Chain A
Amino acid sequence: MNKDFKGYLSIVLHAHLPFVRHPEYPRFMEEDWLFEAITETYIPLIDVFQRLVDDGVDFRITMSITPPLMCMLSDNLLQERYIAYVDRLIELSEKEIVRTMFQKEFNDLARMYLRKYKLCKEIFVDRYNGNILQAFKKFQDMGKLEIITCSGTHGFFPLMLNQKAKDAQISIAVSTYEKHMGRKPRGIWLAECGYQPGDDELLKKHGIKLFFVDTHGILFGVPRPKYGVFAPVYTSNGVAAFGRDMESSKSVWSAEEGYPGDFNYREFYRDIGWDLDFDYIKPYIHGEIRCNTGIKYYKITGKGNHKEPYNEGKALETAANHAGNFLFNRGKQIEHLNSYLGKKPIVVSPYDAELFGHWWYEGPYFIEYIMRKAFYDQDVIKLITPSEYLAENKELQVVTPCFSSWGYKGYSEYWLNGSNHWIYPHLHEIADRMIEIASTHKNANGIMERALNQAAREVLLAQSSDWAFIMKTDTTVPYAVKRTEEHVENFNKIYKMIKDDFIDEAFLNDLEYRNNIFPDIDFRIYSE
């Protein structure tokens, strides 16, 4: 890299899914969230990183991989189920190659899907032996990728009133990260960027050096942040806070102006799971319920219902153009900021990882082209991870970021409104109760210790912000309601057993079998 670069660009992908694992059923629809994300986002990203490494492209990306996602990706049952999932897709795409024999435009696409699914299987099974966390770890160990953690089960801190409950979320996040990544995390993605002043003290306690807030988290910080979001700040506890850049965010996120809406890109809503004859597609959907299979043959085409066949070559060309445009704009932005601020700005562009590939099918290629073009075609921008930035830039302003989130309207409303406010009396109570029993039973062992550990898992699972989020978005609401109710109920049952000093072992066995997140948890993270 040329020493005369004008500023930094940090691309951050937040990879998260709630813990969904139902060994009690042979197949379970919501488990497909994970399998779709592996197929369309995580493996394509691994494939991109590998190609970049093979071609000698020095790149930098930051990814949060949340603790529930780490637990699912390392779980044997889900790994086996993923292989069965991708095998079904391979079988379906083979059938599609025959079925579309007289429709060349679709036949080419059926072959594309077969090629991609076979690659998924090869990467998943042959290269990483079922655990793709190893792939991410490999790129981290090479210094290309920085993996950060996230609040334990993606708990939304601004509505989690007990500091000890937040502390436990961070504690389990750090130990989960360490188990899979072989070192401690330097950074954290607070779930939904939900930050409340004071939470940084907990981060410091656990050795975490940096976190992210939304734009106004920095802009409304106290005192005024001299460089806006273009330099991180230190909180009074010496933890660095990086703010989201709005301009680069919008170019990807915005429904109207964003790249993913280009008419050449693949249309998400036309899937053969909905389009084809029921009897034919039945083995590849869920029982009697039509759902997406992942095989989609159309491009966005235009605003109306008329859709034309997808053209892979054209779509990839578009992604390359968009990547060029993105980098060009960042270059202009950074040059302007540099001359104006009199220092090298950092532009932080965070996105949900699942946007790339799952929603925006060409997204992983967009990332790849950005990395290639940044390496070969320019010398204005230096790609960097936040912890590298901190190593190069030691002097930061001390600012207390403002209470904020990156959700709708920027604060807590999305997670606290008429659709989901009923959960908080329960969530607060079980957290308080957990702290109580963890403090009174510090020396527990045997079955009592197991019960306390499971109680902690149930609290953590209930705290996933995903449930409140789903209730508000009005999709799969019954599942989110049921999960909240079940974990609260499970906790309350165990709590009573512990208070009564009588553990129903069959009940405990069943919960340990089903809700096995954080296999090595020690309930004492809740002890006071």
Chain B
Amino acid sequence: MSNAEDFRPLGSSGASKNVPATPHRKPGDRLPKHYGKTKIVLMVIDPFWLHAYWHITHSKIEELKNSLGEENFNSSRFVIRVYDITDIDFSGDNAHSYFDQNIGNNARNWYINVGTPDRNFIVDLGLITQSGEFILIARSNVVRSPSATISSQVDEEWMSIDEDFEKTYLLSGGDQIGKSSFEIKEIIAKRFQEELSSHIFSSFSSGKPLQEKSEEKSTFWLKVGTELILYGATEPDAKLSVMGQKIELRPDGTFSMRFALNDGEIALPVEAESADKKHKRKIEPVVNKVTR
């Protein structure tokens, strides 16, 4: 990627319709808050974590209030119910297992720790009433948590003994993922769990990136460079040289050069010769740069 640090269009003076007017708004603020549909969508982050976002329309809320009664609705809580439906044609009540995640009234998305690779999940967004009844609001797509380790399935035609496969695995870079062991699953699991805290934080955020404040550096510094500008003018059609090298004049006969200086003395002889070669002038500035 580029090293560009800032976004600023060039050649534009002042505000433009393409430049956000309010600098401190949240990303995505100018986009619709929702698209008028009650739904929940599930995505995969890694073998242990999923992410869901959802929307419940106003009319759906009204409908729930009507069917439950205002009081019953107000004492209910919103949850997402996460089902493990691996190898199951899910009917709503035949999952291997499920757990409920409270999501409060205002969250629009959630990071879900499912904790198990290689399983199929589906999520229901719903309400749990005070009496414990689960009211379905929306059902998500199905996702499968990715594998985090070597498959236990072995192809007979392409079989190798375990030790051989372990070696192949290591040579393939398996040890770069965890350590040199067949119990790679544990190690990888640990690697992911070390990152738990960041997920927990983001569960409470709704789109605002976490910013780390870098500590103020106290190393004061100073840089100094020295440059010399040599400039002048002669007849526009004259020939000019500086230190013996021919220099192109600007159309009006002026010239300007700039040199970085090291310490020490330098001479900068400037010679001009008229176009008809009848006249010559020479001026030789001498500059001595000393750094104390």
Please report A residues at the B interface, Cβ cutoff 8 Å.
22, 24-30, 32-33, 36, 95, 98-103, 106, 158-159, 161, 197, 215-216, 218-230, 243-247, 249-250, 268, 275-277, 280, 286-287, 289, 291-292, 336-337, 340-341, 354, 397-399, 402-404, 409-413, 416-426, 428-429, 466, 469-471, 473-479, 481-482, 484-486, 488-489, 492
Contact = CB atoms under 8 A, between A and B. Distances in A.
A246 B10 contact: no
B106 interface: no
Contact of A403 (B144, B173, B225, B243): B144
Interface string B51-89: 101010000000000000000000000000000000000
B172 A215 contact: yes
A158 B176 contact: no
B172 A229 contact: yes
A411 B146 contact: yes
B181 interface: no
A99 B10 contact: no
Nearest to B208: A418
A250 B173 CA distance: 10
A215 B168 CA distance: 12
A144 to B, nearest CB: 28
B99 interface: no
Interface residues of B, number: 79
Contacts of A244: 173
Given A224-B154, A340-B167, A428-B41, 12 more contacts: A25-B11, A26-B10, A95-B258, A224-B153, A224-B160, A226-B168, A250-B176, A286-B10, A340-B168, A413-B46, A424-B41, A492-B32
A478 B154 contact: no
Nearest to B223: A275
B28 A423 contact: yes
B4 A223 contact: no
A426 B173 contact: no
B233 interface: no
B28 A216 contact: no
Contact of B51 (A250, A336, A421, A469): A421
Nearest to A246: B173
Nearest to A103: B260
Contacts of A492: 32
B249 to A, nearest CB: 14
A29 B155 contact: no
B238 interface: no
Interface stretch (B130-138, B199-207, B271-279): B199-207
A300 B229 CA distance: 31
B175 to A, nearest CB: 9
Contacts of A275: 225
A205 to B, nearest CB: 22
Nearest to B174: A219
Contact of B43 (A412, A469, A471): A412
B3 interface: yes
Interface string B172-198: 111011000000000000011001001
Nearest to B227: A277
B147 A426 contact: no
A402 B258 contact: no
A29 B7 contact: yes
B169 interface: yes
A103 B228 CA distance: 13
A99 B53 contact: no
B158 A226 contact: yes
B155 A224 contact: yes
Contacts of A484: 27-28
A471 B10 contact: no
Nearest to A277: B227
Contacts of A291: 3-5
B258 A418 contact: no
Contacts of B32: 426, 492
A224 B53 contact: no
28 contacts: A26-B11, A29-B9, A33-B2, A98-B257, A99-B258, A99-B259, A103-B262, A218-B172, A220-B150, A224-B154, A228-B174, A230-B171, A243-B172, A289-B5, A291-B3, A398-B155, A402-B147, A410-B177, A411-B45, A413-B49, A416-B51, A418-B201, A419-B210, A421-B51, A421-B109, A421-B202, A424-B41, A477-B27
B1 interface: yes
A24 B12 CA distance: 9
A479 B9 CA distance: 10
Contact of A102 (B18, B167, B169, B261): B261
Nearest to A250: B176
Given A215-B177, A402-B146, A403-B44, A226 B8 contact: no
- B6, B144, B206, B227: which has the most chain A beta carbons within 10 Å? B6
A244 B227 CA distance: 51
B31 A488 contact: yes
Closest 7 interchain pairs by CB?
A246-B173, A228-B172, A418-B202, A419-B209, A403-B146, A422-B207, A479-B7
